[in-house]
């Protein structure tokens, strides 16, 4: 089932977006590296935090070549406060590949983008649409939720992308993707959708009545597991300390505030992810 009236959907969403997009730093540029970095940050970090930290990261790494010439540890250090520290490791790997395979310029082809470490279907399409203004149907959690509700049922990942592809206009890829994403973020919100203010309420199969079809639908984010006491928290504690200086292995468990066996497992995980190296009985950033 496609959206009943895709041209009406396009017209309404584009018109709403023209007057409602928030002024955000990554919407003021078409620089592909800035878009790649900001989209990497936005994957798992709040908009307000990304607004604050993006200039700091770009000041250190204004282009892929600068990032690739730095150490992984440099990128992880500048990433402080953003969480999910595998992302700077992957960003460094992507920068290295951009330099080696694309002469330092972020590629625009979907296949080339998807081949970059850490770049998945969302980020690849976001770079195409938001940096190069090339046609692409971006699917993030806001858009996944929006399409599930419009269709009134849970969707598979293939269906969400298919509906997004069908709805996307050939022209205005930047405005279209920003608008539909923003509509999901500001109007078709996770907990309290504002159907009365929705520009496509007449196309919506759900309209906020009964069970939310977005729950359990593909591309829709699931609640985070508890952070307090999690491996994620303990990993973060160690990486935070290593940003300042190397640490003796004998101090790892105390730094993580856990027992030696768990500390050893978490340390091995961090090494496997390329976030920590162990040398001379010390843990350090790579
Ligand atoms: S009518 Fe309500 S549920 Fe449907 S798309 Fe609009 S905000 Fe979302």
d(CA 169, CA 150): 18
Q: What is the DSSP letter of 284?
A: E
Residue with the larger pLDDT of the pair 5 and 259: 259
Q: For tokens 């001379």, what's the residue?
A: 280
pLDDT digits (tens, 9 = 90+) for 6-58: 889 999 999 999 999 999 999 999 999 999 999 999 988 899 999 999 999 99
Cα 179 to middle of ligand 1, angstroms: 14
Cα 130 to middle of ligand 1, angstroms: 25
Q: Which atom of ligand 1 is nearest to the CA of 183?
A: 7
Cα 185 to middle of ligand 1, angstroms: 11
> Percentage of the chain surpassing pLDDT 90?
86
Record: fold of 231-284: Arc Repressor Mutant, subunit A (1.10.10)
**Measured CA distances, 81 to 4, 6, 56, 86, 198 (Å):** 44, 41, 11, 13, 35
Query: Is the CB–ligand 1 distance for residue 188 below 6 Å?
Result: yes
d(CA 286, CA 73): 5
The predicted structure's pLDDT at residue 227: 82
pLDDT tier, 170 (very low <50, low <70, confident <90, very high otherwise): confident
Query: Is the CB–ligand 1 distance for residue 67 below 6 Å?
Result: no
Closest by alpha carbon to 134, among 181, 174, 182?
174
Q: Is the pLDDT of residue 257 over 60?
A: yes
Contact at 8 Å (CB) between 137 and 165?
Answer: yes
Q: Which atom of ligand 1 is nearest to the CA of 205?
A: 4
> Percentage of the chain surpassing pLDDT 70?
98
Residues 120-147, mean pLDDT to the nearest whole number = 94
Residue with the larger pLDDT of the pair 112 and 230: 112
Q: Is the pLDDT of residue 225 over 80?
A: no
**Residue 218 CB neighbour total at 10 angstroms:** 17
The predicted structure's pLDDT at residue 221: 72
Query: Is the CB–ligand 1 distance for residue 187 below 6 Å?
Result: yes
The predicted structure's pLDDT at residue 4: 65
The predicted structure's pLDDT at residue 5: 74
According to CATH, the superfamily of the domain at 31-130 is: Hypothetical protein; domain 2 (1.10.340.30)
Q: What is the mean pLDDT of the chain?
A: 93
Among protein residues, the one whose CA lies closest to atom 2 of ligand 1: 195
Mean pLDDT is lowest, of 28-37, 210-219, 243-252, for 210-219
DSSP string, 241-278: HHHHS-EEGGGHHHHHTS-HHHHHHHHHHHHHTTS-EE
Q: Is the pLDDT of residue 150 over 90?
A: yes
Closest by alpha carbon to 84, among 283, 232, 222?
232
d(CA 84, CA 89): 10
Cα 202 to middle of ligand 1, angstroms: 9
Is 39 among the residues known to form the active site?
A: yes
**HEC secondary structure over 4-19:** CCHHHHHHHHHHHHHH
| Ligand 1, pocket-test mutation among 142, 200, 215, most atoms within 8 A of CB | 200
Q: Which atom of ligand 1 is nearest to the CA of 194?
A: 7
> Which residue in 39, 60, 133, 170 is the catalytic one?
39
Phi, psi of 284 (to 5 degrees): -150, 165
Burial of 223 (0-12, 13-18, 19+ CB in 10 A): exposed
pLDDT tier, 1 (very low <50, low <70, confident <90, very high otherwise): very low
The predicted structure's pLDDT at residue 12: 95
Q: Could you tell me if residue 45 is left (phi over 0), alpha (psi between -120 and 50 degrees) or otherwise beta?
A: beta
pLDDT digits (tens, 9 = 90+) for 67-95: 999 999 999 999 999 989 999 999 999 99
pLDDT tier, 216 (very low <50, low <70, confident <90, very high otherwise): confident
Cα 182 to middle of ligand 1, angstroms: 13
The predicted structure's pLDDT at residue 2: 52
209 contact partners, CB below 8 Å, separation of at least 6: none
For residues 224-255, one letter each, b for 16 or more C-beta atoms within 10 angstroms of the residue's C-beta and e for the rest, the string is: eeeeeeeebebbbbbbebbeeebbeeeebbeb
Q: Do 231-284 and 31-130 fall under one CATH topology?
A: no
Residue ranges of the domains in the chain?
Answer: 31-130, 231-284
């Amino acid at each position: 089932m496609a959206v009943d009236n895709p041209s009406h959907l396009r017209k309404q969403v584009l018109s709403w977006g023209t007057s409602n997009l928030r002024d955000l730093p990554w919407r003021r540029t078409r620089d592909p590296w800035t878009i790649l970095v900001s989209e990497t940050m936005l994957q798992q970090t709040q908009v307000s935090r990304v607004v604050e930290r993006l200039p700091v990261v770009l000041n250190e790494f204004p282009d892929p070549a600068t990032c690739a010439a730095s150490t992984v540890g440099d990128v992880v250090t500048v990433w402080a406060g953003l969480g999910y520290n595998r992302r700077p490791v992957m960003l460094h790997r992507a920068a290295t590949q951009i330099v080696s395979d694309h002469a330092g310029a972020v590629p625009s082809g979907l296949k080339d983008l998807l081949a970059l470490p850490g770049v998945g279907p969302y980020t690849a399409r976001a770079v195409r649409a938001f940096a190069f203004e090339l046609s692409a149907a971006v699917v993030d959690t806001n858009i996944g939720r929006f399409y599930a509700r419009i269709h009134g049922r849970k969707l598979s990942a293939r269906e969400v992308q298919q509906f997004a592809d069908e709805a996307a206009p050939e022209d205005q890829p930047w405005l279209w993707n920003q608008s539909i994403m923003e509509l999901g973020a500001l109007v078709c919100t996770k907990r309290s959708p504002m159907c009365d203010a929705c520009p496509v309420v007449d196309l919506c199969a759900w309209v906020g009545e009964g069970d939310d079809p977005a729950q359990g639908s593909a591309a829709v984010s699931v609640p985070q597991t508890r952070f307090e006491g999690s491996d994620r928290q303990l990993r973060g504690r160690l990486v935070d300390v290593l940003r300042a200086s190397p640490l003796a292995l004998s101090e790892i468990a105390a730094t993580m505030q856990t027992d030696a066996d768990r500390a050893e497992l978490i340390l091995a995980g961090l090494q496997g992810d390329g976030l920590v190296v162990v040398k001379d009985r010390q843990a350090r950033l790579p």
